[in-house]
Structure 1
């Protein structure tokens, strides 16, 4: 797993450090690559282009650090998003290839609340039990679309965690291309890392199953150009 630290102008304070909170890296490969989108999961709110908002975390503070990461595996688009319409992004760590993502340093409490919102559960409850995912690399909490936890590696000695579907890329019989609003948010988030330029991100997403054959690299480049520097 390759990574590059992203200067974000934060104070460097560790979320929840005064309470001795455990820390993890939350790796986003979907729309939460966009820091404004992630802020809706932390503080609450509805991101531009989405039809539904999020309640937010009990601890709304921003991540202590952010890093651009490349994970082993593949991203693909399938099912139908009620928030964006079009296909959702899923991660298969066992598929060949590389995944462009952004990792955010957060407390276990914050990661649990972000995951709860993705799992359509109410945030603010008990923190996730990470014992199995840290020991085995995967933990299936349910059969929902984002109810499988994955440990993609370690960064600075801390686990890099994300969530995905319980099935894999080879199990998908019907892909679904992402909507313009969704793929624009995802692409703009990756470009904002400052590590990958627009052509690299456009080529990467255009090759992902579900987007391939529907979104060309040229069309994605045009979409980002229309979005402007903030991708909104």
Structure 2
């Protein structure tokens, strides 16, 4: 298994934010500096993806405050995602950093080693991003994401503006969505309406009026 698709559905939809996991650094608005992967290379390819399931926000993010984006495979619907073609070791290092663990450490190595055997899902632990879910394959390479093993059972929690702005940026980059579609999509996710009306959400994203979000940049980035 030389390359696999890592499927992002939260703030990692935005390449600039995801590069903090790959090459290290602190994303704008975030409270954490990331170590980066052992292999700091950019993805070999990037493609937009729509995967069956649901998006929700729950827990308490120590990077952004508020709820974290989670993927619920048991929910009917579609999640707008972005697939990055990485090495298994890079996926392990990304997953480790999601859980504040060391790139190249035991958890990272365990994630990389288990990927060939995951047919549907595999839970590594009780944390928010300790369950690996297989989402089929594309171009002969398997597709994986990480989430909580029972995301649908968690209480929804409203996300913060900086976090939503990164997700919105990624939706524009990957899917070419304009701001009205981004607002509609995000507001439908459990947790968001606990803290945001559609109008307030639109106002929070207005900082991107001159960016890809308002232009609806096409392509997969």
TM-score (norm 1): 0.84
- For structure 1, the 5+ residue unaligned runs are 1-20
Partner of 1:11: none
Cα deviation for residue 220 of structure 1 reads 2.7
Cα distance, 1:192–1:147 mapped onto 2, change above 3 Å: same
- State how 1:108-127 maps to structure 2 within 5 Å: 108-125=88-105, 126=109, 127=112
Cα distance, 1:139–1:221 mapped onto 2, change above 3 Å: same
- For structure 2, the 5+ residue unaligned runs are 214-221
Partner of 2:31: 51
Count of aligned positions: 207
Partner of 2:79: 99
User: Distance between the aligned counterparts of 1:157 and 1:145, measured in 2?
Assistant: 28
Partner of 1:86: 66
- The one of 154, 165, 175 aligned to 1:184: 165
Contact kept? 2:37, 2:93, Cα under 8 Å: yes
1:149 matched to 2:132? The reply is yes
Contact kept? 1:54, 1:117, Cα under 8 Å: yes
Contact kept? 1:150, 1:162, Cα under 8 Å: yes
- For residue 80 of structure 1, give the secondary structure of its aligned residue in structure 2: coil
Partner of 1:229: 211
User: Distance between the aligned counterparts of 2:168 and 2:35, measured in 1?
Assistant: 24
- The one of 130, 151, 156 aligned to 2:115: 130
- For residue 130 of structure 1, give the secondary structure of its aligned residue in structure 2: helix
Partner of 2:45: 65
Cα deviation for residue 213 of structure 1 reads 4.2
User: Distance between the aligned counterparts of 1:223 and 1:148, measured in 2?
Assistant: 31
Report the aligned-residue RMSD: 1.6
User: Distance between the aligned counterparts of 2:193 and 2:137, measured in 1?
Assistant: 30
User: Distance between the aligned counterparts of 1:55 and 1:75, measured in 2?
Assistant: 27
- For residue 48 of structure 2, give the secondary structure of its aligned residue in structure 1: strand
1:166 matched to 2:146? The reply is no
Partner of 1:75: 55
Cα distance, 1:216–1:45 mapped onto 2, change above 3 Å: same
1:37 matched to 2:42? The reply is no
Contact kept? 1:203, 1:217, Cα under 8 Å: yes
Cα distance, 1:128–1:116 mapped onto 2, change above 3 Å: farther
* Structure with greater helix percent: 2
TM-score (norm 2): 0.88
Partner of 1:13: none
- For residue 192 of structure 2, give the secondary structure of its aligned residue in structure 1: coil
